[in-house]
């Protein structure tokens, strides 16, 4: 389930280039306006990787451990007649 959600979040990163407007807009810093609308979008994320070789307790050990985690987030904002509307989709994975 988590892998499917993570893959879905990464597939949403493939927004077509022309859909993002190059003109200035009323979007907050870090957001881009979609062309032809007042909807603001931001794609963000992070990744962390670590590895440990050996151990302080057993100096002669050939132990090796590795791990990785990541997160991708899609944040969409739009001003409506009822006030601001915000939708956030976040997917996280850990190995």
Beta bridge partners of 65: 52
Gap between the Cα atoms of 91 and 10, Å rounded: 9
Gap between the Cα atoms of 42 and 38, Å rounded: 13
Confidence of residue 20 (pLDDT cuts 50, 70, 90): very low
The tens digit of pLDDT for each residue in 39-87 reads 999 999 999 999 887 766 666 656 778 899 999 999 999 999 999 999 9
Gap between the Cα atoms of 51 and 23, Å rounded: 43
Rg (CA), the chain: 20
Residue 80, token pair as written in the block = 């409506």
pTM, two decimals, is 0.57
CA–centroid distance for 74 within its chain:
6
**The pLDDT of residue 25:** 65
**The pLDDT of residue 18:** 46
Q: Which of 13-22, 33-42, 62-71 reaches the highest mean pLDDT?
A: 33-42
pLDDT (average), residues 15-38: 71
What's the length of the chain?
95
């Amino acid at each position: 389930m988590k892998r499917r959600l993570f893959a879905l979040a990464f597939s949403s990163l493939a927004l077509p280039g022309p859909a993002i407007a190059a003109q200035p807009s009323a979007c907050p810093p870090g957001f881009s306006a979609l062309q032809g609308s007042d909807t603001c979008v931001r794609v963000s994320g992070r990744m962390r990787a670590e590895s440990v070789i050996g151990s302080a307790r057993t100096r002669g050990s050939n132990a090796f451990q590795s791990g990785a985690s990541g997160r991708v987030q899609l944040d969409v904002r739009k001003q409506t007649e009822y006030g601001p509307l915000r939708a956030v989709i976040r997917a996280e994975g850990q190995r």
